[in-house]
Amino acid sequence: MTDPANLGEFEHVVLLAVLRLGDEGYAVAIRDEIEACTGRRASLGSIYVTLDRLETKGYLKSRFGDPTAIRGGRAKRYYALRPRAVTALRESRRALLQLWRGVHNVLAGTQ
Protein backbone atom coordinates (compact mmCIF):
# COMPACT_ATOMS: atom_id res chain seq x y z
CA MET A 1 0.00 0.00 0.00
CA THR A 2 1.28 3.37 -0.98
CA ASP A 3 2.14 5.70 1.78
CA PRO A 4 0.16 8.89 1.26
CA ALA A 5 2.86 10.88 3.02
CA ASN A 6 5.00 10.06 0.01
CA LEU A 7 2.97 12.53 -2.01
CA GLY A 8 3.91 16.18 -1.67
CA GLU A 9 1.24 18.83 -1.62
CA PHE A 10 2.03 20.23 -5.06
CA GLU A 11 2.41 16.71 -6.42
CA HIS A 12 -1.03 16.00 -5.11
CA VAL A 13 -2.38 19.04 -6.92
CA VAL A 14 -0.64 18.10 -10.18
CA LEU A 15 -1.92 14.51 -10.03
CA LEU A 16 -5.45 15.77 -9.53
CA ALA A 17 -5.12 18.16 -12.46
CA VAL A 18 -3.87 15.32 -14.69
CA LEU A 19 -6.80 13.23 -13.50
CA ARG A 20 -9.28 16.00 -14.31
CA LEU A 21 -7.82 16.60 -17.79
CA GLY A 22 -8.13 12.96 -18.82
CA ASP A 23 -6.55 12.61 -22.29
CA GLU A 24 -5.62 16.28 -22.56
CA GLY A 25 -3.05 16.46 -19.78
CA TYR A 26 0.09 18.23 -21.10
CA ALA A 27 2.16 20.82 -19.25
CA VAL A 28 0.48 24.04 -20.33
CA ALA A 29 -2.99 22.56 -19.87
CA ILE A 30 -2.08 21.21 -16.44
CA ARG A 31 -0.78 24.60 -15.40
CA ASP A 32 -4.00 26.26 -16.66
CA GLU A 33 -6.19 23.66 -14.97
CA ILE A 34 -4.50 24.28 -11.65
CA GLU A 35 -4.94 27.99 -12.06
CA ALA A 36 -8.56 27.62 -13.06
CA CYS A 37 -9.43 25.39 -10.12
CA THR A 38 -7.31 26.88 -7.35
CA GLY A 39 -6.50 30.38 -8.54
CA ARG A 40 -2.90 29.49 -8.00
CA ARG A 41 -0.38 30.43 -10.74
CA ALA A 42 2.32 27.86 -11.00
CA SER A 43 5.40 28.43 -13.16
CA LEU A 44 5.96 26.14 -16.09
CA GLY A 45 9.31 25.27 -14.63
CA SER A 46 7.79 23.94 -11.47
CA ILE A 47 5.25 21.95 -13.48
CA TYR A 48 8.00 20.24 -15.47
CA VAL A 49 10.02 19.46 -12.40
CA THR A 50 7.01 17.98 -10.64
CA LEU A 51 5.90 15.97 -13.67
CA ASP A 52 9.43 14.57 -14.03
CA ARG A 53 9.52 13.60 -10.41
CA LEU A 54 6.11 11.97 -10.48
CA GLU A 55 7.08 10.01 -13.55
CA THR A 56 10.26 8.86 -11.84
CA LYS A 57 8.32 7.79 -8.77
CA GLY A 58 6.06 5.76 -11.02
CA TYR A 59 2.83 7.75 -10.57
CA LEU A 60 2.66 9.04 -14.13
CA LYS A 61 3.26 7.79 -17.62
CA SER A 62 3.63 9.98 -20.69
CA ARG A 63 3.16 9.70 -24.44
CA PHE A 64 3.83 12.01 -27.37
CA GLY A 65 0.86 13.43 -29.21
CA ASP A 66 0.53 14.79 -32.74
CA PRO A 67 2.33 17.98 -33.77
CA THR A 68 0.23 21.12 -33.93
CA ALA A 69 0.72 24.33 -35.84
CA ILE A 70 0.47 26.71 -32.92
CA ARG A 71 3.38 24.90 -31.32
CA GLY A 72 5.57 25.34 -34.37
CA GLY A 73 4.92 21.80 -35.50
CA ARG A 74 6.05 20.28 -32.23
CA ALA A 75 4.38 17.38 -30.48
CA LYS A 76 2.74 17.59 -27.05
CA ARG A 77 3.69 15.31 -24.26
CA TYR A 78 0.58 13.94 -22.61
CA TYR A 79 0.59 12.58 -19.10
CA ALA A 80 -1.70 9.94 -17.61
CA LEU A 81 -2.03 8.38 -14.15
CA ARG A 82 -0.63 4.97 -13.43
CA PRO A 83 -2.66 2.70 -11.16
CA ARG A 84 -0.52 3.38 -8.14
CA ALA A 85 -1.25 7.12 -8.54
CA VAL A 86 -4.94 6.37 -8.45
CA THR A 87 -4.40 4.25 -5.37
CA ALA A 88 -2.37 6.95 -3.74
CA LEU A 89 -4.95 9.64 -4.52
CA ARG A 90 -7.71 7.46 -3.24
CA GLU A 91 -5.82 6.69 -0.07
CA SER A 92 -4.94 10.30 0.39
CA ARG A 93 -8.52 11.39 -0.07
CA ARG A 94 -9.68 8.75 2.39
CA ALA A 95 -7.19 9.89 4.96
CA LEU A 96 -8.11 13.52 4.55
CA LEU A 97 -11.83 12.85 4.74
CA GLN A 98 -11.23 10.84 7.85
CA LEU A 99 -9.39 13.76 9.31
CA TRP A 100 -12.09 16.21 8.30
CA ARG A 101 -14.80 14.22 9.98
CA GLY A 102 -16.19 16.08 12.96
CA VAL A 103 -14.34 19.31 12.37
CA HIS A 104 -16.80 20.84 9.87
CA ASN A 105 -18.57 22.66 12.66
CA VAL A 106 -15.41 24.18 13.99
CA LEU A 107 -14.54 25.67 10.63
CA ALA A 108 -18.13 26.45 9.60
CA GLY A 109 -17.84 30.01 10.78
CA THR A 110 -14.97 30.67 8.46
CA GLN A 111 -16.68 29.41 5.34
Partner 1 sequence: MTRLPRGIGRLLAWTVPLDQQEPIAGDLLQEYVRLRHRRFAAGARAWAATWWSAVQLAASFMWERLRRDRTLPPIADEAPRRSSLWAALAQDASFGLRILRRQPGFASTAVAVLALGIGATSAMFSLVDAVLWRPLPYVHGDRIVSLGEQRPREGRWFGPIAPADFFDWRRDSRSFSAMAAYLVPPSGAYSLTGAGEPERVAALQVSPEFLTVLGITPFLGRDFRFDEDTVGRHRVALVSDGLWRRRFAADPAIVGRTVTFDRRTFEIVGVLPARFWWPTRPEVLVPLALDDHDRALRGAHFLGAAARLVSDTSIDRAREELRVISARLSQEYPLQNADHAANLLTLRDTLVGDVRPALNVLLGAVVCVLLIACANVAVLLLARATGRQKEVSLRCALGASRSRIVQQLMTESLVIAITGGAFGLVIAWSALGVVRGVLPAQFSGLPGITTAGLDPRVLAVTLGFSIATGIVFGIAPALASSDSRVIVGLGEEARGSTSSVRAQRWRSTLVIVELALSLMLLAGSALLLVSFNRLINVPPGFQPAQLVVSRIALPGVRYGEHAQTVAFFDALFDRLRTTPGVRRVASTTSLPLDGLDSRLDLVIEHRTPSPERGALTAHARLVSTDYFATLGIPLVRGRFFTEHDTESSVNVAIINAAAARRYWPGEDPVGRRISLGADDDWRQIVGVVGDTHHEGLDADVEPATYLPQRQVFSNLGSTFERTVTLVVRSANDGAANASIVRSAVSSVDPQLAIGSVRTMQEVIDESIAPRRLNFVLVSAFAFVAVVLTCAGLYGVMSYTVAQRTKEIGVRMALGASGRQVLGMIFRQAGWMTVAGIAAGIAGALALTRSISSLLFAVNADDPVIYGTVSVLLAAVTLVAVAVPASRATRIDPLTALRDY
Q: List residues binding partner 1 (CB under 8 A).
A: 26-28, 43-49, 64, 67-72, 74-77
Shortest spacing between CB 41 and partner 1, in angstroms: 9
Nearest CB to partner 1, comparing residues 24 and 91: 24
Nearest CB to partner 1, comparing residues 26 and 59: 26
DSSP per-residue codes, the chain: ---GGGS-HHHHHHHHHHHHHGGG--HHHHHHHHHHHH-----HHHHHHHHHHHHHHTSEEEEE---BGGGTTBPPEEEEE-HHHHHHHHHHHHHHHHHHTT-HHHHHTT-
Nearest CB to partner 1, comparing residues 29 and 86: 29
Shortest spacing between CB 23 and partner 1, in angstroms: 15
